[in-house]
Amino acid sequence: MSKRILITGGAGFIGSHLCERLIAEGNEVICLDNLHTGRKKNISHLLNNQGFEFLRHDITDPLKIEVDQIYNMACPASPVHYQSNPIKTIKTNVLGMMNMLGLAKRVNARILQASTSEVYGNPLEHPQNESYWGNVNTIGIRSCYDEGKRVAETLCFDYHRNHYVDIRVIRIFNTYGPKMLPNDGRVVSNFIVQALQGNDITIYGDGSQTRSFCYVDDLVDGIISMMEKDNFTGPVNLGNDGEFTVKELAEHVVRLTGTKSKIIYKDLPSDDPSRRKPDLTLAKKELNFQPKVKLEQGLAKAIEYFKQNLN
């Protein structure tokens, strides 16, 4: 049955893919974005669709609207952007979350919160499962995002316990693919853009730190599965549990782009996690979630996108 769905941050990287998928499934989608890091270009092909509506709005301001479901994807997710205005990042995660939960309560909508693997901080457990409480610096340069997202999770569960709001909480691990911003400072887009422009590929640290890279289509499958799953609030990890060093990622990008760029090393930023890999046991059990796209396949698609959109 068709639903009326609000996607906050809907013009962003992941949000725009979600808009496409939910429109294709026959739903009515309201895409809300303040265009701080989202781009109208990401959703321009949907604007003539009768079931699609774009609303320029900031979730730190209250919103009155009638919807069946809310996907709360609003918040800059790359360190470059969330650190550029840390107080705004905190407000989006706290005031914005309160506004969206208040809306869900008023209209009796199910709400999914896009939380993050950053709630685990620089983890002392590996891989990270949902019962791990994390190792987070409360006063570091990443804290506006890490702690903001942790408070957002707290708010979700307090609204659920106190007001019976129907919540879903996902923790997103590193995700990549078409529609990433070329200047977002994330490792995949950084390496691809540097390679395509013939610049040195910059690794911070010695490249031994690990990440797990999930292609965006796989992530969207998991997000929608979580929204549609009854009687399961989460939190649940979503991502890919293949683990690669940052140096291995750089070498893949060099090979796939055919660049003559050299790999160079710079100092590691503070609070940068040394290892990051999701334990997907719960996602597989509850959502039958299984990422399908291999890193090389996904990188090839991302490289093609950047080739066509770098100008």
Q: How far is CA 243 from CA 8, 41, 195, 212, in A?
A: 30, 32, 22, 5
Q: How far is CA 281 from CA 35, 194, 288, 291, in A?
A: 35, 35, 10, 12
The letter for the amino acid at 80 is: V
Other Cβ atoms within 10 Å of 310 Cβ, number:
11
> What integer pLDDT is reported at residue 270 of this predicted model?
72
Every domain of the chain and the residues it spans: 4-176+215-239+277-292
Which CATH architecture does the domain made up of 4-176+215-239+277-292 adopt?
A: 3-Layer(aba) Sandwich (3.40)
176 neighbors 135 (Cβ within 8 angstroms)? no
The rounded distance, in Å, linking the Cα atoms of 270 and 273 is 9
The rounded distance, in Å, linking the Cα atoms of 99 and 122 is 30
> What integer pLDDT is reported at residue 311 of this predicted model?
65
Q: Per residue in 27-45, pLDDT tens?
A: 999 999 999 999 999 999 9
Q: Per residue in 199-257, pLDDT tens?
A: 999 999 899 999 999 999 999 999 999 999 999 999 999 999 999 999 999 999 999 99
Check 71, 82, 120, 145 and give the catalytic one: 145
The rounded distance, in Å, linking the Cα atoms of 277 and 259 is 28
The rounded distance, in Å, linking the Cα atoms of 277 and 295 is 14
Q: Which residues of the chain have pLDDT under 70?
A: 271, 311
Q: Which of 101, 116, 95, 232 is nearest to 158 (CA)?
A: 101
Query: Exposed e or buried b for every residue in 221-242, given b needs 16+ CB within 10 A?
Result: bbbbbbbeeeeeebbbbbbbbe
In sequence order, what are the beta bridge partners of 171?
Answer: 115, 237
Whether residue 204 lies in the annotated active site: no
188 neighbors 178 (Cβ within 8 angstroms)? no
Q: Which of 184, 181, 174 is nearest to 210 (CA)?
A: 174
Look-up of token digits 């070329």:
182
The rounded distance, in Å, linking the Cα atoms of 264 and 286 is 42
pTM of this structure: 0.95
